[in-house]
Chains A and B, each alone.
Chain A
């Protein structure tokens, strides 16, 4: 009896990418108690850079951070940072306490390596 021809062994290739995303995106909101001027986009970026400088020095302030969108009315913004700098940026925003001698707080609402993931926030959903 002729041996049944065996199918050729399947060839597959597996690629594992660890932290392949180059940038991380953060949606943040600045909480300022009412009263007083609100920062515009340039001042907001300067605030972020000065927070980095206060905590991580000149090297931290040189971290490539971009403000992708900024809404002055709600003081919320989407920041983009290189993936290796996420911990530095996040810790700098957390430890920022004052803006122009007024108490403030940065609330990081969402963070993700994909910008699309920032479009939906399950925490804003309300039960009917």
Chain B
């Protein structure tokens, strides 16, 4: 079975709170989390910075409860787009974007939703849960996104905080389910505190509230998350098959012995 994963933990500036979040997630049973860096283009021009490698941030990762492996921490970038010109950043193949493991887009208009589902190179399309959707989902772009392997993300932490958001979350989720029939859904938290996290089976139960079937709800926390992570990995490879890894450069020693090729010639 694919391990449980929570693909949206907002990355704040405070390292200690992130560490406590990670420990809470590992204690609840999540095998992988993704630290989310949100870029909003409405504010003044923001630069996409290189993702901080999790091994630098956290010297020791906590062990997932129930296994003996450490929790896996990935990096994720979310672009909040409200204008078609913002998407150019994704197409420009800037070096910094390719360093993130998962790329998500948060479309604010129907046209952008269509563009994100059909042409953009992303792994996740975020569905707004904090306000009434300004557009209705239509079947053609949603079906194309499902064919391309793009997943739709729903958040559950706003539903914990506020009762109005609860209604919007459930209503937006139900209208999405009507169109996509429960396929390609990922449910994640956007928890800023350890108390806002919920265990993976609790989140799978929330999927039942949204109208998923039992197997689809459990897949929304486990299988679909793993598929998203793999989809992000294929972006770093060629055709999903060939990897390039940077090998650490060995310091060149002073060569006192004769180089190998010359030796072969003299021997013969």
- Residues of A in contact with B (beta carbons under 8 Å apart): 31, 33, 54-55, 87, 90-91, 93-97, 103-105, 107-108, 123, 127
Contact = CB atoms under 8 A, between A and B. Distances in A.
B136 to A, nearest CB: 26
Contacts of B202: 90, 93-94, 108
Given A55-B166, A95-B160, A123-B65, A107 B199 contact: yes
Given A87-B209, A94-B202, 8 more contacts: A87-B205, A87-B208, A94-B205, A95-B156, A97-B196, A103-B193, A107-B28, A108-B202
Contacts of A97: 160-161, 196
Interface of B: 28, 65-66, 68, 156, 159-161, 163, 166, 193, 195-199, 201-203, 205-206, 208-209
Nearest to A93: B202
A55 to B, nearest CB: 7
Given A87-B208, A87-B209, A95-B206, A108 B195 contact: no
A54 B163 CA distance: 8
Given A97-B161, A103-B193, A108 B166 contact: no
Contacts of A93: 202
Nearest to A108: B202
A54 to B, nearest CB: 7
B205 A90 contact: yes
A102 to B, nearest CB: 10
Contacts of B156: 95
21 contacts: A54-B163, A90-B202, A91-B205, A91-B206, A91-B208, A94-B202, A94-B203, A95-B159, A95-B160, A95-B166, A95-B206, A103-B193, A103-B196, A105-B196, A105-B198, A107-B28, A107-B199, A108-B199, A123-B65, A123-B66, A127-B68
Nearest to B162: A97
| Most B-side CB within 10 Å, residue of A97, A103, A104 | A97
A101 to B, nearest CB: 13
A90 B197 CA distance: 15
Ranked nearest first, the 8 interchain pairs of A and B with the lowest CB-CB distance are A97-B160, A94-B202, A105-B195, A90-B205, A91-B209, A103-B195, A87-B208, A94-B198
